[in-house]
């Protein structure tokens, strides 16, 4: 499981993924159930930045 931090101009939030987004902050709830590739595409399309904070 990975914890990913998303930084946008108006928020910083996170989500957990194991290849599929399992849990997410309320502002990222759209990503729950999406694959990592789908989440990455959405994050990039918004111009946000994401980084892995921790791998468990």
Instruction: Strands of the chain (E only): list them.
Output: 2-8, 11-17, 21-24, 49-55
As given in the structure block, the two tokens for residue 40 are 């990455």
Domain ranges of the chain: 2-51
For the question of whether the overall pTM of this predicted structure is more than 0.85, the answer is yes
Confidence band (pLDDT; 50, 70, 90) for 1?
very high
CA angle 24, 27, 17 (to 5 degrees): 20
Counting Cα atoms < 13 Å in the Cβ hemisphere of 34 gives: 15
Q: Give the whole-angstrom CA distance, residue 42 versus residue 56.
A: 24
As given in the structure block, the two tokens for residue 53 are 């904070």
pLDDT in tens, 26-35: 999 999 999 9
């Amino acid at each position: 499981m990975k914890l990913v931090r998303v930084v946008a101009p108006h928020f910083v939030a996170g989500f957990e993924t194991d290849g599929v987004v399992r849990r997410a902050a309320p502002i990222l709830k759209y990503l729950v159930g999406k694959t990592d590739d789908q989440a990455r595409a959405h994050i990039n399309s918004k111009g946000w930045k994401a980084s892995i904070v921790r791998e468990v």
